[in-house]
Structure 1
Amino acid sequence: MVEVSTPVRWLLRLIAVGYVFFLVAWPVSLVAVRTFEDGTDAFFGIFTDPHTVAALQLTLMVAVWAVVINLVFGVTISLLLVRYEFPGKRVLSALIDLPLSVSPVVVGLALLLVFSGRTGWFGPSIEDAGWKVIYDSPGMIMATCFVALPLIIREVVPVLSEIGDDQEQAARSLGANGRQTFLRITLPSIKWAVIYGVVLSLARSLGEFGAVKVVSGNITGRTQTATLIVEAKYQNFQQASAYSVAFLLAFISIACLIVVAFLRPKHEEA
Structure 2
Amino acid sequence: MIDTIVAPPEPSAPTRQRRARKGPVTYLVRLLVVAYLFLLVAWPVSLVVTHTFENGLDALRTLFEDPDIVHAMRLTVVAAVVATVINTVFGVSVSLLLVRTEFPGKRVLSALLDLPLAISPIVVGLALVLVYGGRGGWFGPTLESWGLQIIFSTPGIILATAFVALPLVIREVVPVLGEVGIEQEQAAQSLGANGWQTFWRITLPGIRWAIVYGVVLTLARSLGEFGAVKVVSGNILGETRTATLAVEESYLNFNQEGAYAIAFLLASVSVACIIVVSILRARAAGH
Counterpart-to-counterpart distance in 1, 2:141 and 2:90: 27
2:53 alignment partner in structure 1: 36
Counterpart-to-counterpart distance in 1, 2:176 and 2:30: 28
Q: Counterparts in 2 of 1:125-136, with a 5 A limit?
A: 125-136=142-153
Counterpart-to-counterpart distance in 2, 1:160 and 1:256: 23
Q: Counterparts in 2 of 1:61-140, with a 5 A limit?
A: 61-140=78-157
Indicate the larger mover: 5-14 or 137-146.
Answer: 5-14
Give the match's secondary structure for 1:176: coil
Is the CA contact 2:80–2:161 (under 8 Å) kept in the aligned structure 1? yes
Q: Check 1:101–1:263 CA distance in 2 against 1; reply closer, same or farther (3 A cut).
A: closer
Which of 216, 219, 225 is the aligned partner of 1:202?
Answer: 219
Identify unmatched segments of 5+ residues in structure 2: 1-13
Give the match's secondary structure for 1:208: coil
Which of 45, 51, 67 is the aligned partner of 2:68?
Answer: 51
| Aligned-residue offset at 1:267 | 4.9
| Aligned-residue offset at 1:263 | 3.9
1:245 alignment partner in structure 2: 262
| Aligned-residue offset at 1:29 | 1.5
TM normalised by structure 1 equals 0.95
Counterpart-to-counterpart distance in 1, 2:45 and 2:207: 32
Query: Which letter maps to 1:81?
Result: L
Counterpart-to-counterpart distance in 2, 1:266 and 1:11: 33
| Aligned-residue offset at 1:17 | 2.9
Superposed CA offset, 1:226-249 (max 9, x none): 000000000000000000000001
Counterpart-to-counterpart distance in 1, 2:134 and 2:160: 16
- Indicate yes or no: 2:185 matched with 1:168: yes
- Indicate yes or no: 2:22 matched with 1:6: yes
Indicate the larger mover: 72-81 or 39-48.
Answer: 39-48
2:11 alignment partner in structure 1: none
| Aligned-residue offset at 1:265 | 4.2
Counterpart-to-counterpart distance in 2, 1:268 and 1:168: 23
Superposed CA offset, 1:149-169 (max 9, x none): 011111111111111111111
Q: Check 1:242–1:121 CA distance in 2 against 1; reply closer, same or farther (3 A cut).
A: same
Identify unmatched segments of 5+ residues in structure 1: none
Q: Check 1:13–1:158 CA distance in 2 against 1; reply closer, same or farther (3 A cut).
A: farther
Query: Which letter maps to 1:222?
Result: E
Indicate the larger mover: 177-186 or 58-67.
Answer: 177-186
| Aligned-residue offset at 1:28 | 1.3
Q: How many residues align?
A: 269
Which of 144, 156, 175 is the aligned partner of 2:173?
Answer: 156
| Aligned-residue offset at 1:30 | 1.3
Indicate the larger mover: 96-105 or 253-262.
Answer: 253-262
Counterpart-to-counterpart distance in 1, 2:284 and 2:129: 46
| Aligned-residue offset at 1:184 | 1.1
Counterpart-to-counterpart distance in 2, 1:134 and 1:53: 22
Give the match's secondary structure for 1:47: helix
Is the CA contact 2:116–2:167 (under 8 Å) kept in the aligned structure 1? yes
Query: Which letter maps to 2:218?
Result: S
- Indicate yes or no: 2:52 matched with 1:60: no
TM normalised by structure 2 equals 0.90
| Aligned-residue offset at 1:185 | 1.0
Is the CA contact 2:209–2:284 (under 8 Å) kept in the aligned structure 1? no
1:261 alignment partner in structure 2: 278
- Indicate yes or no: 2:228 matched with 1:211: yes
